[in-house]
Structure 1
Amino acid sequence: MGNELAGKVAVVTGGATGLGSAMVERFVAEGARVVVGDIDAERGAAVAQRSGALFLRTDVGEPDQITALVDLAVERFGGLHIMCNNAGISGTMHKSILFDDFADFHRVMSVNVLGVMAGTGVAARHMSQNGGGSIINLSSVGGVQAGGGVMTYRASKAAVIHFTRSAAIELAQYEIRVNCLAPGNIPTDLLAKASTTMSPEKAERMTRAMREMMNQDRPLPREGTPEDVAEAAVYFAGDRSRYLTGTVLTVDGGTTAGKPLRARRTDTASNGSAGAPAGAL
């Protein structure tokens, strides 16, 4: 920990829990003054009090509330240098798209896509008149890599990536950098929230099974943490990344790079050489 963000002002949406709260705490630890926005007033206020940030209840599906959040940062701290559009929801998990009624489509899209687009636009209006800044949008490996389940969520996160790259092109002339983080296999309560229609026992079994499947698909042997994502966010927020824009950084232990190769032992290596990793041939 240091002072990488000293003198900077940051806004983090969805900062009450999970990845967002880790970002808030890390930004503060690096010297930033932070304003937290979240629909969860109780936990959002607790994070703010614990870290020394400010909190404003914010539904990012309502652009006017994002404007109020940014206005608060500017009024209280004198500016805005970092906008982290982190707020997101999963939607309801269905067995298959064959059974998906898309009842939550508009809510998922309003939070995951409109919230990011509006957050980028509102922040950029200030930054464009005040020397630029860094905008960090949260996608997911689900927006990078195709797969089954939670189709609306996957579509929304893919939209975030394309929007981020497009906004990066448009805003570069104002010295505004727009980058994207795509986390994967990070333990948060997002997966549990997707299974709210199941019984608690079934939801727990499903969550364990999916976590195990994710672990098997991840090349790095250790599981990621919210702090790993916060570390990447600090990098995009600070001056070390001043020549990066339109970048999508996967924070996923190598999941999107390819399937893991697990080393295997052989009894034929009499000359001391090891056998080839499984799947290498």
Structure 2
Amino acid sequence: MANELAGKVAVVTGGASGIGRGIVERFVAEGARVVIADRDGERGSDLAAELGSNALFRTADVADQEQVGALVDVAVEHFGGLHIMVNNAGISGTMHNRFLDDDLADFDKIMAVNVLGVMAGTRDAARHMASHGGGSIINLTSIGGIQAGGGVMTYRASKSAVIQFTKSAAIELAHYEVRVNAIAPGNIPTPLLQSASTETESAELKRFEERIRETMRADRPLQREGTPDDVAEAALYLAGDRSRYVTGVVLPVDGGTVAGKAIRRRAKRTEDQTN
């Protein structure tokens, strides 16, 4: 559908790269005006310049509540309102071979970005939406918040918290016609995964990431690799009027990973092959 978000104003945190960039590009293509928020000023400014007058970049660290609130103010002042809030900004944690070796040194930082940032973004967007006819809030979690596993325990805990918060906020904010939903990406190649390792040489980091990707591919029912565009398509659905009766859902975009491990079957031999 062309111009599905015509007349809408959105804020996308972590919008300068990866999944956030994919969402920004799709929203603008569908007619929305978008405030791009990110700590990466160079990438964010370049993206806004590329997209033209319907995009505006602001440097922001979502771990700072005042900076999150300022994004809502910018959207209202520059574009005249706020209809869609995408709380996408997130960080991973240091990968440890064993939880027993985890010093939890990154706990406060991960929780501040992944949980506090989402809660503040939801609250501040809803404060405006509640008195302006409602709106759509989309929080990015992860299949790591749905499925148990090892490796990055604080990250998993933070993404689980986003899921519970999203459902709770959806119940409370429904009175104001504010819908709150979550997307749980999985197996989407983005720069985020690189932050899950300790500092290593680039070649070792590449091997580390490929091992994780290979495990993901083996478990994924759909064989096609996921992309930020796939997540952006889900965000478009939750942002627009097609989902006006949808709130409190967690939508995995993961090639079927959380549904169950892949079943690989041998292709049937043709009659010619058997004879």
Q: 1:202 to 1:176 in 2, by over 3 A?
A: same
Is 1:35 the counterpart of 2:35 in the alignment? yes
Contact 1:9–1:77, Cα closer than 8 Å, also in 2: yes
Matched residue, 1:80? 82
Once the two structures are TM-superposed, the CA of residue 196 in structure 1 deviates from its matched residue by 4.1
What is the identity, as a one-letter code, of the residue corresponding to 1:216? Answer: A
Contact 1:8–1:33, Cα closer than 8 Å, also in 2: yes
Is 1:95 the counterpart of 2:101 in the alignment? no
TM-score (normalizing by structure 1): 0.93
Once the two structures are TM-superposed, the CA of residue 266 in structure 1 deviates from its matched residue by 6.3
What is the identity, as a one-letter code, of the residue corresponding to 2:197? Answer: S
Contact 1:38–1:59, Cα closer than 8 Å, also in 2: yes
5+ unaligned residues in a row in structure 2: which ranges? Answer: none
> 1 CA distance for matches of 2:254 and 2:51?
26
Helix, strand or coil at the partner of 2:258: coil
> 2 CA distance for matches of 1:107 and 1:62?
11
Bigger mean CA deviation after superposition, 41-50 or 189-198: 189-198
Once the two structures are TM-superposed, the CA of residue 93 in structure 1 deviates from its matched residue by 1.2
Matched residue, 2:117? 115
TM-score (normalizing by structure 2): 0.95
Is 1:223 the counterpart of 2:225 in the alignment? yes
**1:128-147 map, 5 Å:** 128-147=130-149
Per-residue CA deviations over 1:125-152 (Å, capped at 9, x if unaligned) read: 0000000000000000000100111100
> 2 CA distance for matches of 1:59 and 1:244?
29
Once the two structures are TM-superposed, the CA of residue 189 in structure 1 deviates from its matched residue by 0.8
Structure having the higher helix fraction is 2
> 1 CA distance for matches of 2:200 and 2:148?
24
Contact 1:24–1:51, Cα closer than 8 Å, also in 2: no
Structure 1 outlier segments of 4+, above 3 Å: none
Matched residue, 2:213? 211
Matched residue, 1:4? 4
Matched residue, 1:124? 126
Contact 1:60–1:66, Cα closer than 8 Å, also in 2: yes
Per-residue CA deviations over 1:30-88 (Å, capped at 9, x if unaligned) read: 00000011111111111111122101100000010011111000001110000000000
Percent of pairs with identical residues:
68
> 2 CA distance for matches of 1:213 and 1:38?
30
> 2 CA distance for matches of 1:48 and 1:214?
33
Matched residue, 1:171? 173
Bigger mean CA deviation after superposition, 157-166 or 49-58: 49-58
> 2 CA distance for matches of 1:24 and 1:47?
9
Aligned residues: 270
Once the two structures are TM-superposed, the CA of residue 261 in structure 1 deviates from its matched residue by 1.0
Per-residue CA deviations over 1:91-138 (Å, capped at 9, x if unaligned) read: 111111111111110000000000000000000000000000000000
Q: 1:131 to 1:265 in 2, by over 3 A?
A: closer
Matched residue, 2:235? 233
Contact 1:13–1:87, Cα closer than 8 Å, also in 2: yes
Once the two structures are TM-superposed, the CA of residue 201 in structure 1 deviates from its matched residue by 2.3
